[in-house]
Amino acid sequence: MREFQLKYGCNPNQSPARIFAEAGELPFRVLNGRPGYINFLDALNAWQLVRELKEALALPAAASFKHVSPAGAAVGLPLEESLRRVCWVGDLKLSPLACAYARARGSDRMSSFGDWIALSDPCDLSTALLIRPEVSDGIIAPGYAPEALELLKTKRKGGYAVVEIDPDYQPEALERKQVFGLTFEQGRNEQKISEALLRNVVTRQKDLPEGAKRDLLLALITLKYTQSNSVCYAKGGQTIGVGAGQQSRIHCTRLAGDKADIWHLRQHPKTLALPLREELGRAVADTVVDLYVSGNEADVLADDKWRDYFTKRPEALTAREKAAWLASFSDASLGSDAFFPFGDNVERAARSGVRFIAQPGGSIRDSLVMQAADRLGVTMAFTGLRLFHH
């Protein structure tokens, strides 16, 4: 197959629309449903991300994509009990690949609503069972176990998009993009992200544990496929906050840091004990939980809307309790796709438990940024590699 007809382009008024190979065959097969223009943008970017994560970290990888940026990405490490509850895993027995997707989806469940899923390995039944109840538009993987494929075909009233990618496909070294009738051409970003990028530690604090190295590489690879400007927080083999497409670096850092805080607050004992009504769908429950952890304690459920969501009125999570819980969070890692122009980025990151940073360096204020890291006990490496993606 050399081309695939799409329902429409980015918007319904943009027709006709198609995806096609200028030479040879398309490197994928559509096994179910009818993916759209944005679906394929998500699928092809997400596939590159998980393929590179697996190559770099030798673990199964998964990503949850929305609007051409990852809402979450992760590798297949086991989930502790609090994360199993946050990710709505229940008592499911999870394969390493399923663990990767649970983590990726759980990084930012609000943003992952209606996601496109990418898996580095063939989708097994364990992962399909995890995907089945989630609101998702489609999936791309290098293969599917027969029972997993049959289950996925039942989603969205049989219209769930399932794409099988050729894992051996390699595109040409040059890539092209059209804007306003004009064609841009550039070399593909084939820079391999490895531990060699973390050798230039520029701060007084030099410790860089193996877990931090893994998380920094995960953050950097995630940024390689995230719309710039972008910053990524990571911990435990998964992203916990991605700030994408902001014009200001500090706004990226704040946005991603706020998401990391919510991720951590979702694991607070009071949050885990919320008496949610069983009939709530996951999407509604996720929204209620996010409002609970991010709301002002004086306003939480003050208007009695709690009756719609809870079996009884829960205790508010106080500002003091939030501060204490967040203060207990440490050893997070952060990657930035370009240099930090000011030390305020380091200061904001440290408030969300960041102790390890990888960024390109090269700002005229590098010395001030390094001073901020030294003052806060943060280990920072200059990678020398910018990772803009548009």
Is residue 215 one of the residues assigned to a domain? yes
To the query of whether residue 229 is one of the catalytic residues in this protein, the response is yes
d(CA 153, CA 164): 13
CATH number of residue 15's parent domain: 3.40.140.20
Tell me the per-residue pLDDT of 99-125, one tens digit each, with 9 for 90 and over: 999 999 999 999 999 999 999 999 999
pLDDT at 165: 98
Phi, then psi, of 117 in degrees rounded to 5:
-100, 140
Query: In the annotation, is 157 catalytic?
Result: no
Which pLDDT belongs to residue 306? 72
Same-domain pairing of 259 and 212: yes
Whether the pLDDT of residue 304 is over 70: the answer is: no
The closest of 234, 322, 267, 241 to 85, measured between CA atoms, is 267
Q: Sign (positive/negative) of CA torsion 170, 27, 132, 37?
A: positive
Query: Does a structural domain hold residue 388?
Result: no
> Is 389 among the catalytic positions?
no
Scored b (16 or more CB within 10 A) or e, 257-268 reads bebbbbbbbbbb
Same domain, 152 and 249: no
89 part of a folded domain: yes
Asked if residue 373 and residue 258 are part of one domain, the reply reads: yes
| 121 plus 68 within the same structural domain | yes
CA–CA distances in Å: residue 316 to residues 84, 103, 298, 311, 320? 23, 27, 8, 15, 11
Mean pLDDT of the chain: 94
Cβ neighbors of 333 (< 8 A, separation 6 or more) are: 212, 215, 216, 219, 233, 234, 235, 354, 355, 356, 357, 358
Q: Is residue 358 part of a domain?
A: yes
For residue 7, the model assigns a pLDDT of 87
Query: Which among 134, 68, 72 has a CA at the least distance from the CA of 104?
Result: 72
114 and 253 co-located in one domain: no
For 142-162, what is each residue's pLDDT tens digit? 999 999 999 999 999 999 999
Q: Do 230 and 85 fall into the same domain?
A: no
pTM of the full structure: 0.95
Condensed to tens digits (0 to 9), the pLDDT of residues 5-24 reads: 998 999 999 989 999 998 88
Q: Are residues 230 and 343 in the same domain?
A: yes
Task: Tell me the C-alpha distance between 36 and 9, whole Å.
Answer: 7
Domain that holds residue 291: 269-316
Is residue 298 scored above 90 in pLDDT? Answer: no
Is the residue at 79 inside a domain? yes
Asked if 256 and 275 sit in the same domain, the reply is no
305 has pLDDT over 70: no
Domain end marker among 133, 165, 197: 165
Marked catalytic residue, from 67, 153, 251, 389: 67
Same domain, yes or no, for 10 and 58?
yes
Residue 390: active-site member:
yes
Report strand pairing: 3-6 vs 17-20.
Answer: antiparallel
In a domain, 387, yes or no: no
Q: Are residues 215 and 301 in the same domain?
A: no
Structural domains counted in the chain: 3
Cα 92 versus chain centre, distance:
22
pLDDT tens figures, 217-269: 999 999 999 999 999 999 999 999 999 999 999 999 999 999 999 999 999 99
- Do residues 49 and 158 share a domain? yes
Looking at 54, 66, 235, 268, which residue is catalytic?
Answer: 66
- The answer to whether position 248 is within a domain reads yes
Catalytic residue among 32, 39, 45, 229: 229
Decide if pLDDT at 300 tops 70.
no
Q: pLDDT per residue over 186-210, tens digit each?
A: 999 999 999 999 999 999 999 999 9
The residue among 165, 190, 211 that closes a domain is 165
CA dist list (Å): 205 to 13, 72, 233, 347, 374: 55, 29, 19, 16, 7
Of these residues, 93, 206, 312, 390, which one is catalytic? 390
Q: What is the pLDDT of residue 386?
A: 96
Final residue of a structural domain among 165, 182, 197: 165
Residue 131 lies in a domain: yes
Q: Are 75 and 213 in a shared domain?
A: no
- Say whether pLDDT at 301 is over 70: no
Tens digits of residue pLDDT in 47-89: 999 999 999 999 999 999 999 999 999 999 999 999 999 999 9
What's the CA gap between 31 and 182, in Å, rounded?
34
